[in-house]
């Protein structure tokens, strides 16, 4: 279903608030994978507030849609969303990365309600997602699996093993997103290990590719709607994003992959997010 | 229980892996939650027998082990019970990150039935031998490790794997195994060693294909008046501490035998129990002496590394000649 104007404005507000909560969580944690969490935030928000059929009061509900965060280091963006959706008390985010906390950098599915898979090794979440998608077929269940990949992790051969399997088994009940933020730890993806022609690679593996602005909730939503209807081949939505999106002084920098923020930087980050939000709403 | 219908005749005609495949088919017939996965080794590992009977529950992922273990994890997450079969070396090494993070870390109900273990793929060489898997797999938290001695025990182990929650690793051999048992209901119990021969002079603790050799060695030694106890330690994790401590107490000399590197496997697991007991014991580990193995027929290589009947008997005699403190207060040493 296309986004209504009201829905769009609500989601924009949610994305702003959760970007702020993500920044706060990085501060509570001492440091964190802020760049890739902010680049993925619009995808998180769209899925958790529009698409996923889930019940935070019953995280293990067997008919729920699954969400597998293959780029597991974006947990610092995922956890605030889960807290906001009511899986657990937001206060717990203040323990993020602390000794003995249930909330580590890479979220543990055994400990954090709402997390469908423990990820972090990179390149492996997509296989788990293919597994839950195939299981739905065996179990004759109608739940959907959504999976969010990072672009850097597409260097891993396993991603393409899984892509081959998704195409071979035509898992159209799997909706795949790639957060194409163009950066990995050691620098731009194209300098570290060239991914382009990225969309062509997915096409060659049997996917229908939708390339969208990953910070346009409307474009993301239209692509998701397309993927939900498409049954002839699995769809990958390549979301063109900005690493560190919304915090101007860390945007498009490899350093934002993992960093700490002092009080002054937190203040500046929040101001930047406020400006970013206002500009987005003006354009929405 | 699955696997209980195979008589001696059929066991002699069947490779251990075929017994596994048949057992899994019987289990799958009863339990719709069972699915089977392989990475282009459906025929070689015999998990493909499931494909013949339940094609909708079999998934070949091609030569892509890492993806296979991830898919299995996802299926287990959704409530299925995946049995996954490829060679031991690819299970314990090629796909280890996925076994570790996707399966064991999340304590998922995935059963890894790894074939061509130890030196059983004799001529294929060290790219296909697997003498490290017990060591690797027993350090995976949540994972249980079983090395069955023959086809009957494999059938029992596969059933036990289904009945035991969480990840289970079973290592079985390529080809035919010599039969250790005459029937399936000899009293297999997950986590409990099986006594194969009684004795008070020394204990031989073996697993997998070495159990047959240990039993033969004990019978050779008996002719010389040496009474060797033989334990089939099929479950290496969790190890049967009581059986080890009883052997320690009653025989004070222990030899371990395994088709595996002497580091980290059965011998190390037994050594940990002995060392923590605080009691002196004459002890030696037989296995592959921390090297990449030679190629050849399985039993020939076993003989080369002295994990066959003669090699075990020779080492038992050597260990019987070793001096250890056996004073009257031995039981108070702790």
- Shortest Cα–Cα distance, B153 to chain A (Å): 30
Q: What is the pLDDT of residue B6?
A: 63
pLDDT reported for residue B323:
82
Which chain B residues are closer than 8 Å to A169 by Cβ?
A: 59
pLDDT value at B2 more than 60: no
Q: Which residues of B touch A68 (CB under 8 A)?
A: 74
What would the pLDDT profile of B16-56 be if each residue is shown by its tens digit? 999 999 999 999 999 999 999 999 999 999 999 999 999 99
Write out the residue limits of the CATH 3.40.50.970 domain(s) in chain B. 8-171
Chain B contacts in chain A segment 45-64 (CB below 8 A): 62
Q: Considering only the top CATH level, what class is A5-283?
A: alpha beta
pLDDT for res B326:
65
Between 3.40.50.920, 3.20.20.450, 3.20.20.70, 3.40.1130.10, what CATH number should domain B194-322 receive? 3.40.50.920
Say yes or no: B102 contacts chain A, CB-CB below 8 A.
Answer: yes
The yes-or-no verdict on residue A158 having pLDDT over 90 is yes
ipTM score for this prediction: 0.93
Length of chain B (residues)? 334
CA–CA min distance A106, chain B (Å): 11
A vs B: CB pairs below 8 A: 115
Q: CATH assignment of B8-171?
A: 3.40.50.970
Residue A139 to residue B105, Cβ atoms within 8 A: no
Of A108-117, B7-16, B180-189, the one with minimum mean pLDDT is B7-16
Point out which residues pair with B170 in neighbouring strands: B113, B146
CA distance to partner chain A, nearest, from residue B91 (Å): 15
Task: Pick B106's closest partner by Cβ from A110, A121, A126.
Answer: A110
**pLDDT tens per residue, range B220-239:** 999 999 999 999 999 999 99
Separation of alpha carbons A178 and A153, rounded Å: 10
For chain B, give every residue range classified as CATH 3.40.50.920.
Answer: 194-322
B98 has pLDDT over 70 = yes
CB contact at 8 A, B97 and B150: no
HEC string for chain B? CCCCCCCHHHHHHCCHHHHHHHHHHHHHHHCCCEEEEECCCHHHHCCHHHHHHCHHHEEECCCCHHHHHHHHHHHHHCCCEEEEECEHHHHHHHCHHHHHHHHHCCCCCCEEEEECCECCCHHHCCCCCECCHHHHHHCCCCCEEECCCCHHHHHHHHHHHHHCCCCEEEECCCCCCCCCCCCCCCCCECCECEEEECCCCEEEEECCCHHHHHHHHHHHHHHCCCCEEEEECCEEECCCHHHHHHHHHHHCEEEEEEEEECCCCHHHHHHHHHHHHCCCCEEEEEEECCCCCCCCCHHHHHHHCCCCHHHHHHHHHHHHCCCCCCCCCHHHCC
pLDDT digits (tens, 9 = 90+) for B123-140: 999 999 999 999 999 999
Residue B1 has pLDDT above 50, yes or no: no
Rounded to the nearest angstrom, the minimum Cα separation between B125 and chain A is 26
Q: What distance in Å separates the CA atoms of residue A55 and residue A45, rounded to the nearest whole number?
A: 16
Which residue from A109, A135, A161 is facing B66, i.e. has the nearest CB?
Answer: A161
* Residues in chain B closer than 8 A to A136 (CB atoms): 78
* pLDDT tens readout for residues A197-242: 999 999 999 999 999 999 999 999 999 999 999 999 999 999 999 9
Positive or negative, the CA dihedral A195, A200, A206, A207 is: positive
């Amino acid at each position: 279903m296309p986004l209504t104007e009201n829905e769009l404005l609500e989601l924009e507000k949610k994305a702003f608030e959760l970007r702020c909560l993500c920044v706060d969580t990085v501060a509570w944690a001492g440091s964190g994978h802020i760049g890739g969490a902010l680049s993925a935030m619009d995808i998180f928000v769209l899925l958790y507030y529009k698409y996923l059929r889930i019940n935070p009061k019953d995280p293990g509900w067997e008919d729920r849609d699954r969400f597998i965060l293959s780029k597991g280091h974006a947990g610092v963006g995922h956890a605030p969303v889960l807290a906001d959706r009511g899986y657990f008390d937001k206060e717990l985010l203040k323990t993020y990365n602390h000794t003995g906390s249930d909330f580590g950098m890479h979220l543990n599915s055994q400990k954090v309600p709402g997390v469908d898979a423990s990820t972090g090794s990179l390149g492996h979440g997509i296989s788990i997602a293919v597994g839950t998608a195939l299981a739905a077929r065996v179990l004759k269940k109608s739940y959907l699996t959504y999976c969010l990949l990072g672009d850097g992790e597409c260097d891993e051969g396993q991603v393409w093993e899984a892509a081959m399997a998704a195409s071979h088994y035509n898992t159209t009940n799997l909706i795949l997103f790639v957060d194409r933020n163009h950066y990995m730890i050691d620098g731009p993806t194209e300098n570290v290990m060239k991914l382009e022609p990225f969309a062509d690679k997915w096409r060659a593996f049997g996917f229908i590719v939708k390339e969208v602005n990953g910070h346009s909730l409307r474009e993301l939503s239209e692509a998701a709607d397309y993927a939900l209807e498409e049954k002839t081949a699995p769809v990958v939505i390549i979301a063109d994003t900005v690493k560190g999106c919304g915090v101007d002084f860390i945007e498009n920098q490899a350093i934002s992959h993992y960093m700490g923020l002092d009080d002054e930087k937190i203040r500046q980050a929040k101001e930047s997010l406020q400006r970013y939000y206002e500009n987005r709403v003006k354009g929405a | 229980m699955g696997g209980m219908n195979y008589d001696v005749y059929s066991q002699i005609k069947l490779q251990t892996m075929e017994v596994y495949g048949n057992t899994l088919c019987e289990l799958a017939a009863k339990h719709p939650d069972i699915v089977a996965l392989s990475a282009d080794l459906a025929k070689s590992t015999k998990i493909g027998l499931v494909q013949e009977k339940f094609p909708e529950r079999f998934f070949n992922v091609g030569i892509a082990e890492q993806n296979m273990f991830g898919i299995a994890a996802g299926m287990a997450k959704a409530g299925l019970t995946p049995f996954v079969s490829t060679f031991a070396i690819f299970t314990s090494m090629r796909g280890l990150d996925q076994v570790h993070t996707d399966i064991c870390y999340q304590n998922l109900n995935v059963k890894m039935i790894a074939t061509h273990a130890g030196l059983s793929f004799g001529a294929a060489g060290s790219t296909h031998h697997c003498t490290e898997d017990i060591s690797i797999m027993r350090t995976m938290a949540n994972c249980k490790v079983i090395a069955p001695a023959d086809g009957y025990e494999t059938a029992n182990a596969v059933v036990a794997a289904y009945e035991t929650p969480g990840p289970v690793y079973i290592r079985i051999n390529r080809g035919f195994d010599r039969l250790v048992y005459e029937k399936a209901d000899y009293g297999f119990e997950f986590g409990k060693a099986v006594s194969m021969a009684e004795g008070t002079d020394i204990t031989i603790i073996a697993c997998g294909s070495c159990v047959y050799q240990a039993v033969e060695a004990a019978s050779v030694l008996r002719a010389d008046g040496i009474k060797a106890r033989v334990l089939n330690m099929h479950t290496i994790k969790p190890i049967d501490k009581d059986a080890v401590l009883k052997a320690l107490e009653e025989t004070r000399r222990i030899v371990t035998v395994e088709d595996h590197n002497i580091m980290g496997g059965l011998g190390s697991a037994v050594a940990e129990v002995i060392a923590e007991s605080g009691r002196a014991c004459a002890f030696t580990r037989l296995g592959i002496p921390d090297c990449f193995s030679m190629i050849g027929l399985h039993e020939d290589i076993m003989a080369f590394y002295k994990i066959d009947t003669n090699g075990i008997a020779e080492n038992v005699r050597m260990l019987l000649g070793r001096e250890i403190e056996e004073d009257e207060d031995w039981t108070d040493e702790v």
